[in-house]
Amino acid sequence: MLASYLIQPGVIELRDADKPKPSRGEVLVKIKAALTCGTDLKAFQRGHPMIPMPGVFGHEFSGVIAETGKGVKDFKAGDEIMAVHSAPCLKCKYCSKKLYNLCENIMDTKVLGAFAEYILLPKHIVKQNLFHKPANLSFEEAALLEPLACVVHGMSGLKIKKGSKVLILGSGPIGLLHMSIAKLHGAHVMVCSRKKERLAFAKKFGADSVATAEELPDETKIFTGGMGFDYVFECTGQLDVWEASINYVRKGGTVVLFGGVKSGATASYDTHRLHYDEITIKGVFHFTPHDVKTAYNLLKDTLNLFPLISGSYPLKDLHIAFEKLSKGEGIKYAIIP
C-alpha cells in the first residue's frame, strides 16, 4: 500500500509499505478521506513531540472496512465507517476515576497514518470509538469526527445558553468548530483573528461579529456593553494570546485554554483579576468516548461543517496542502487516496 511519511519538517515522502493484516478484534480500513489538522501542520513546519519522525502521520479519517479480524461482531467488510485514532485503556488509575481523556496509555496506543491507503484500528478503538457512517454524510465530513470530539470535550460542563456572549480567539478550524457549537446553544459569538481573510470566512460561516487583535478591546466593549464575555476560548496556542485572554472575560466568567503551547512555556496572569473577579481558567485535553459519541450525533443530525473543507488533493500532493496551510491559505484540506 502507499503511505505518506513525514521524514523531517518540510519533507514528506510517499512510500510503499506492507498492508497490515488485522488480528483478533482489529479492523483494517481503506481510507476514503483524511483531513489535515493543526497538529499535523505543526509537525510539518517544525516537528511535534507526539508525531515521531520519520514516520507515518495523519489522524482524521473515514473510510470503508476492507477486512476484520476474528471476534469483530458489529462491523463487516464493505461497511462505511468513521472513527477516531485513540481510546482509553479502561485499566489505569485515571480510567478508574472515569477521567478517560487523561488515560495514562491513551497517547502511547494512539494510531497515526491516515495519510495512506489503509489504516489498522486496534481492538480498543474498535470497541469504543468506531461508528457506521450515515449515508447523509460525505467521507470528508465524517473525517471531522476527531477534531469535533476534542471541541465537544472542551465545551462540556459549561453553561453556554441563549444570549451568552462568547469570544473565540483564533479563526482556524478549531476556533470555527467552537463557534459552531456555541451558536447551537444560542450564544452570540465574536471571532478574533490576525488574518482578515479568515475573519471574512468566519462571518460568512455564522459569526455574529469579528475583530482583529487591534480592534478587539474596543469591539469587546461594544459587543458586551462594557461587561466582558461570559466565555473566552483560546484556540491559537500562542503564549501571548493565552496571557491576553483574561482581558476580555467578565467577572465570574470562564477562559478555556484549548490551543496547546510549547512544553516548558509559562504564562503570567493578574492575580487580582483572577481572585477578586473570580475568573475560572480551564485547561482542556483530548476527549472521552462520550465526547466522541456526542460529536458523532452532531455530525449526523445537526451540524453542516462541509464549508470548513477548502479543497482536496491526492496522496502524492499532500505536501501542497501543507504548503498552502503554512501560507494561511484554506481551513482544512481533504486527502483522497
Pair 169, 128 in one domain: no
Considering the domain boundaries, does residue 217 fall inside one?
yes
Q: Can you give the CATH number for the domain in which 91 is found?
A: 3.90.180.10
Confidence (pLDDT) at 184: 96
- Give pLDDT tens digits for 229-272: 999 999 999 999 999 999 999 999 999 999 999 889 999 999 99
Confidence (pLDDT) at 324: 96
Distances from the Cα of 185 to the Cαs of 114, 127, 177, 204, 230, in angstroms? 32, 31, 13, 19, 13
Considering the domain boundaries, does residue 293 fall inside one?
no
Considering the domain boundaries, does residue 296 fall inside one?
no
Query: Any idea what the Cα angle at residue 91 is, between residues 89 and 93, rounded to 5°?
Result: 110
CB 249 within 8 A of CB 281: no
Pair 205, 89 in one domain: no
Confidence (pLDDT) at 40: 94
Confidence (pLDDT) at 309: 97
Pair 129, 90 in one domain: yes
Confidence (pLDDT) at 320: 97
Confidence (pLDDT) at 223: 98
Average pLDDT over residues 138-164: 97
Average pLDDT over residues 89-105: 98
Q: Does residue 49 have a pLDDT over 90? A: no
- Give pLDDT tens digits for 98-142: 999 999 999 999 999 999 999 999 999 999 999 999 999 999 999
Pair 203, 229 in one domain: yes
Signed CA dihedral, 258, 263, 265, 267: sign only: positive
Percent of residues, the chain, with pLDDT higher than 70: 100
Considering the domain boundaries, does residue 37 fall inside one?
yes
Considering the domain boundaries, does residue 297 fall inside one?
no
- Counting the structural domains of the chain, the total is 2
Query: What's the pLDDT band for 286 if we cut at 50, 70, 90?
Result: very high
- CB contact set of 249 (below 8 Å; sequence gap of 6+): 167, 228, 229, 230, 231, 232, 255, 279
Pair 184, 138 in one domain: no
Mean pLDDT of the residues in the chain: 97
Instruction: List the domain range (segments joined by +) for residue 166.
Output: 151-283
Considering the domain boundaries, does residue 103 fall inside one?
yes
Considering the domain boundaries, does residue 114 fall inside one?
yes
Pair 131, 158 in one domain: no
Q: Can you give the CATH number for the domain in which 204 is found?
A: 3.40.50.720
Q: Does residue 50 have a pLDDT over 90? A: no
Confidence (pLDDT) at 326: 94
Confidence (pLDDT) at 323: 96
Average pLDDT over residues 77-106: 98
Considering the domain boundaries, does residue 331 fall inside one?
yes
